[in-house]
Structure 1
Amino acid sequence: MKKRSIVVLLMAVGILSGCGNGPPVASNTQNSVSPSAKLETVSMLLEDLAAPRHPSDGGGRAWLAGEVEPVAVGGTGRYEIIYEVGLHGINLGGSVYLQPSPFWGWSGPQTGNPDLPGYTVVETSADGVGLETFTPDGQILIITIGGRALRQGERLVMTYGAGRAGATVDRYAERASRLWIAVDGDGDGIRAVLPDSPVVPVAAGPPARIVLTLPSVARPGESVGLTVAVLDSAGNAGVDFAGEVSLAVTPAGAQVPSSITLDPEARGLGEAECVFPETGS
C-alpha cells in the first residue's frame, strides 16, 4: 500500500476558559408540529404496527448466495437472494416483498427493463407455482404467489441487479445495509419483515478530505483530544488510507504534535493530545 502524507493547518481559535451560566431557555416548539410533518404517514405506520399478523407472515429465511464482497459507495452489484418458505407456508395470493433501503441511492428493484439499474429476475423451481411481480412505487418489488400455495422448504430466487447496469448501492458506507425481505403469508395485505434479511457491506470511497475535531472549550493547561479523520468525498469514515498527517498550529503557543501516523488498520482515523496554555490561544 502506498503511503501518503497530508499537511494540515490547525487553527486554534477562541479557546475559552469556561461556559455561560445563564438559565436554560425554554423551547416554544415542544408542542408544535412541523409544517412538513407527514402525519398521514405516521398514522399509517402506527396502524400497521397494531395490525394482527398471521403466523405465516414474516415466515421463512433469506440469504445471499456465495461470498458477498464489500462494494464502494455508489458502486454497483449483482445479488442473488434465496428465500426459503417457513413452517406455515405461503397461501395462494400471498406475497414476498423485496425492498432495498428506500433512502440514500439504492436502485429500486424492477422487472420491466433489463438495461436499467435494479433489474430483478424472480424464479422458483416449485412445480405448479406461478409468480406475478409488481412495483407500486419504484422502491419495493411485490411477488404474488399464483397456481398453488408454497410449502415449507420451497424456494424463490431473486436476482437483484441482474441486468447489465447492475444495482446501484448506498451512497453512504454501512457495514450491513439490508436487502429487506417481507412476507404476507395469508394474502391479506399485511406483511411482516424478516429481521435477519440479507446484508450488503458498503465500503467508503477513496480518501478525499480530512476533518479535525477539537472540543469547543478547553481550560488553559488542560490536555484535550484532537480527532483526525480522513474521509471520502461524501464524508464517510473507514477509507483505505495509510500515511502521515502533518499538523501546524496558528497562532503559535499551543502544544500540538507535528504529525500523526495512521496505519492501514486505523482506516483513516487517529487521535492526539493538545494543550492550549493561555486563554484565547
Structure 2
Amino acid sequence: MSDQSSKVSVIIPTYNQAELLQNALISVINQTMQDWEAIVIDNNSRDNTREVVEAFNDPRIRYVPFSNKGIIAASRNHGIHLAAGEYIAFLDSDDLWYASKLATCRDHLGPDTDIVCHGLRIRREAGLKESLIPNLPGHDIYHFLLDNGNASIATSAVMLKKEYLSQFGIFSEKPEMVTAEDYELWLRLSKKRIRWGCIKEELGEYRIHGGNASGNIKRQMLAEEAAVMMHFNEDYPSSAAGTRLKMKRRRVMIALRAGKRALDSGFFKDALNYSLQGITKIWT
C-alpha cells in the first residue's frame, strides 16, 4: 500500500465520452510515477462509460456515478472530497497526459511552490497542433490574473496539495461561473498568496473538438466577466474612477477575446458580434 503523503489523486469528470475517457485513463496508467489513484466522476453517461472504466480492472481506478446537474465544478468537487492522496491533479476526460506529467509536477512542488501548472499541446479535429503554455509573472499573480485573464492555465495542467483546497475553497458551483470556475479558483488561491510554479514544457494534450469548440463562447465570455466583476467588487471601491476604468478595460478585453475564439472556430458572424460588443464597451 502506498504512503498517502506521496499519492496523487487524479480527478476525472466525464459525460458520454467513453472512447476519449479510455485514452485519458491509459495516459494515467502509463505514468512513470505510479503512486496515484484515479477517480472517474460520471455524470449519468448514457454510453458505455462504466464498462470502459471497469474493463481496466485496476484497483487504483474508481468509478463514481454522480449527477452534477450541468455544473462540472460539482463533479470535480465531489472527486476532491473523495480523494485519498495528498496531491490533487485534474484531468478532463477528453484530454490526456504524457508519461512524465505526474512525476515532473510532483518534483516541482516543494517549499517554494504550492501549486504547479504546465504547458499542453492543443489538438484540433483538423489535425492542427498548437502549444498552450502558461504565462505567469514572478510576483503579484493575483492582480496579473485579474487584469489579464487565466494566463493559459488549463485545468488538466494543474496540480496542488489537497490541503490548499480544504483551506481556501474548492471550485465555485454558481451557475454563472460555469466555464470560468477554474479561472475563479486560480484567482482565489492567488489572492491567498499561494505560490505558483510554471513549467513551460508540454506535459499533455488538450483536445478541441465538436463538443468543446462551439456553443460555449458566449457562456465563457459571460462567466469570465462574472468572475472578474466578483473579485473587482470585493477588492476595489466601486466609486473610484480607477476601478471603473479597470473594469471597463477588462470587459472590453473579454469581449474581444470571445471574438477571437469565435473567429478561430469559424463562427464569423459571432466573431463580428463579440468584437463590436468589445468596441461598444469602450464608450459605455
Class of the TM-score when normalised by the shorter of the 2 chains:
under 0.3
Higher fraction of strand: 1
TM-score, normalised with respect to structure 1 = 0.24
TM-score, normalised with respect to structure 2 = 0.23
Higher fraction of helix: 2
Q: Which has the higher contact order (CA 8 A, sep 6+)?
A: 1
**Higher Cα Rg: structure 1 or 2?**
1
